[in-house]
């Protein structure tokens, strides 16, 4: 009989799908790594399982323990699935800009959800970073994975995402493009691919209101770059240890609106019902391809991190899109 012992064994080996319509006029082959095929519907399942298993091996997470994490939603889902498989409890802190669907799905899989204000500094006591750290200190037998600085995050992608892409493209991948948030996906995957092909180009997709692009280009952490933005899952107002800027050749910034509109196009024109930052990644990839005049010899892989069900009340709601001025 062929079956999995638990749902987390279904993580990884997601398909690579060619984009055919939104790429009109583009000469390069553009392939989407569709991560919503993971059981938690996002790329974060990979590193969530890795962080938990590494913590168990290190004795940081003990039977009956509580996993406490600050998340934009997707990492929480991956951690929750791992917790169900292994018998842990979960408490997640989210900023109030995250979609209601993300909060509801976390509660559905048994997690406690604490909603924190978005528009406060990272070190403010009410930020979702600070609240998670405080709860970890207060609750006995708890573990704070800290996806931003936990090296198991990037290691998961070095061990799985990178090898998958190399195998799926038969080593022909020339460009890897993905959104950058915690930095684990871009850094771990890029490290593996660059070891295989030092000429490979990695492009990070950033959002306006985030510090990454300017920091890469100038080495300066400019607080003036930080301001509220709506796109979920990419960009940061901190520099996570998992962001290895040596593994990222350049950044492209994408507006909230351009990402949102492209997300809708991917659903309608490609049949890919994906999340907001997926649209940002594809929009940024197409801008980069045009700027660099990529040719038929180039194979571009764009990673699409999550599923559209996380954004039904936002991106896929016409009234909400009109209120934001994203559509007429």
Cα gap 223→221, rounded to integer Å: 6
What's the per-residue H, E or C state across the chain? CCCCCCHHHHCCCCCEEECCCCCCCCCCEEEEEEHHHCCCCECHHHHHHHHHHHHHHCCCCCCCCEEEEECCCHHHHHHHHHHHHHCCEEEEEEECCCCHHHHHHHHHCCCEEEEECCCCCCCCCCCHHHHHHHHHHHCCCEECCCCCCCCHHHHHHHHHHHHHHHHHCCCCCCEEEEECCCCHHHHHHHHHHHHHCCCCEEEEEEECCCCHHHHHHHCCCCHHHCCCCCCCCCCCCCCCCCCCHHHCCEEEEECHHHHHHHHHHHHHHHCCCECHHHHHHHHHHHHHHHHHCCCCCCEEEEEECEEHHHHCCCCCCHHHHHHCCCCC
Tokens, residue 204: 């990070």
Cα gap 291→281, rounded to integer Å: 15
Is 44 catalytic? The answer is yes
Q: Which of 44, 191, 253, 314 is catalytic?
A: 44
Rounded to 5 degrees, φ, ψ at 157 are -80, -30
State whether the Cα torsion 206-223-48-97 is positive or negative. negative
> Which of 171, 177, 161, 162 minimizes the C-alpha distance to 289?
177
* Catalytic residue list: 44
């Amino acid at each position: 009989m062929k079956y999995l012992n638990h749902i987390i064994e279904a993580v990884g080996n997601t398909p690579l799908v060619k984009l055919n319509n939104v790429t009109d006029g583009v000469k390069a082959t553009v392939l989407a790594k569709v991560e919503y095929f993971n059981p938690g519907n996002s790329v974060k399942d990979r590193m969530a399982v890795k962080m938990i298993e590494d913590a168990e091996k290190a004795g940081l997470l003990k039977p009956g323990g509580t996993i406490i994490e600050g998340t934009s939603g997707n990492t929480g889902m991956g951690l929750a699935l791992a917790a169900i498989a292994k018998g842990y409890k979960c408490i997640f802190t989210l900023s109030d800009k995250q979609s209601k669907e993300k909060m509801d799905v976390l509660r559905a899989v048994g997690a406690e959800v604490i909603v924190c204000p978005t528009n406060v500094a990272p070190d403010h006591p009410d930020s979702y970073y600070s609240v998670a750290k405080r709860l970890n200190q207060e609750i006995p037998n708890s573990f704070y994975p800290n996806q931003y600085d936990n090296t198991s995050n990037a290691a998961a992608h070095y061990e799985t995402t990178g090898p998958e892409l190399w195998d799926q493209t038969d080593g022909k991948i020339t460009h890897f493009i993905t959104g950058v948030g915690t930095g684990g996906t871009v850094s771990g995957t890029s490290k593996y691919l660059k070891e295989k092909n030092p000429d490979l180009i990695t492009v990070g997709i950033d959002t306006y209101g985030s510090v990454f692009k300017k920091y890469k280009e100038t080495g300066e952490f400019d607080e003036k770059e930080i301001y509220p933005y709506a796109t979920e899952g990419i960009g940061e107002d901190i520099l996570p240890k998992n962001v290895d800027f040596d593994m990222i050749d350049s950044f492209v910034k994408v507006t909230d609106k351009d990402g949102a509109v492209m997300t809708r196009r991917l659903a309608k024109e490609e049949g890919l019902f994906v999340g907001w930052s997926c649209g940002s990644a594809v929009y940024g990839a197409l801008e980069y391809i045009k700027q660099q005049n990529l040719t038929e010899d180039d194979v571009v892989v764009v990673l699409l991190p999550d599923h559209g069900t996380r954004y039904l009340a936002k991106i896929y709601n016409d009234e909400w899109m009109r209120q934001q001025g994203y559509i007429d």
